[in-house]
Amino acid sequence: MLGKKLVTAQKRGETRALCLGLGMVACSMMMYFFIGITIVPFYTKSVWTTETVCKVLKANIKDKVFCPNSEGSEDEEIFPYPCLQVWVNLTASGQEVMLYQTEDTLERNPKCSYVPDKLENSKEVKARIETIASNFKKYKTFPCYYDPGGTQTNVILSRLYPSKGLLFAFLWPTLMFTGGCLIIVLVKINQYVSVLSAWQ
């Protein structure tokens, strides 16, 4: 009687462990799919792939401009802010080009090097842009990214999704997938050993 209860409890534990392993594998596959349709297209679409050194030539703050809204966006998303323009000397080619913060900055407003988030306090936005301009004037040399193919003549300060960030995004689903597969294998080995010992 006691042996039957132990066998029943063992089977329940194996079933739960197997369900856990299958659930981890399923969740990891969903995470792979989500990363594949969100982060990977932005990473592959970016042409600014080669790192080089940029030297600041001038950093000017022009009059306030309005952030152009994309199609389908509401008028509330349009807000004025000082336009910071940073021109740098590209070490790789020696050209004078305009610097943008990220790929998204160029899409949002190609006239300005930095596009702030919408803030209620315009003084805070102005102070932030002035701080950024002073930092560029202070630290004249810094790493940046350019397009080796030449389709984009401008450069960016940082990529939205660098190679390290992409690898880090794939790390967690990989660990979950490996853990799930390991649990399934251990359960199958345990079942095989149980059957083998019972047969003997």
Measured between alpha carbons, how far is 56 from 113 in angstroms, rounded to an integer? Answer: 13
pTM above 0.85, yes or no: no
Read off the pLDDT of residues 37-52 as tens digits, 9 standing for 90 and up: 888 888 888 888 888 8
Report in angstroms the alpha-carbon separations of 32 from 4, 24, 163: 42, 12, 16
- 3 pLDDT higher than 60: no
Structure tokens at 2: 């006691």
Give SS3 for 151.
Answer: coil
Measured between alpha carbons, how far is 99 from 185 in angstroms, rounded to an integer? Answer: 52
Per-residue confidence at 177, pLDDT binned at 50, 70, 90? very high
- 67 pLDDT higher than 60: no
Read off the pLDDT of residues 92-122 as tens digits, 9 standing for 90 and up: 677 889 999 998 888 888 888 998 877 657 7
Where are the chain's structural domains? 20-43+164-199, 50-160
Average pLDDT over residues 149-153: 81
Query: Would you say 142 and 57 are in contact if contact means Cβ atoms under 8 Å apart?
Result: no
In this prediction, residue 73 carries a pLDDT of 43
Query: Would you say 52 and 142 are in contact if contact means Cβ atoms under 8 Å apart?
Result: no
- 25 pLDDT higher than 70: yes
Per-residue confidence at 2, pLDDT binned at 50, 70, 90? very low
In this prediction, residue 7 carries a pLDDT of 52
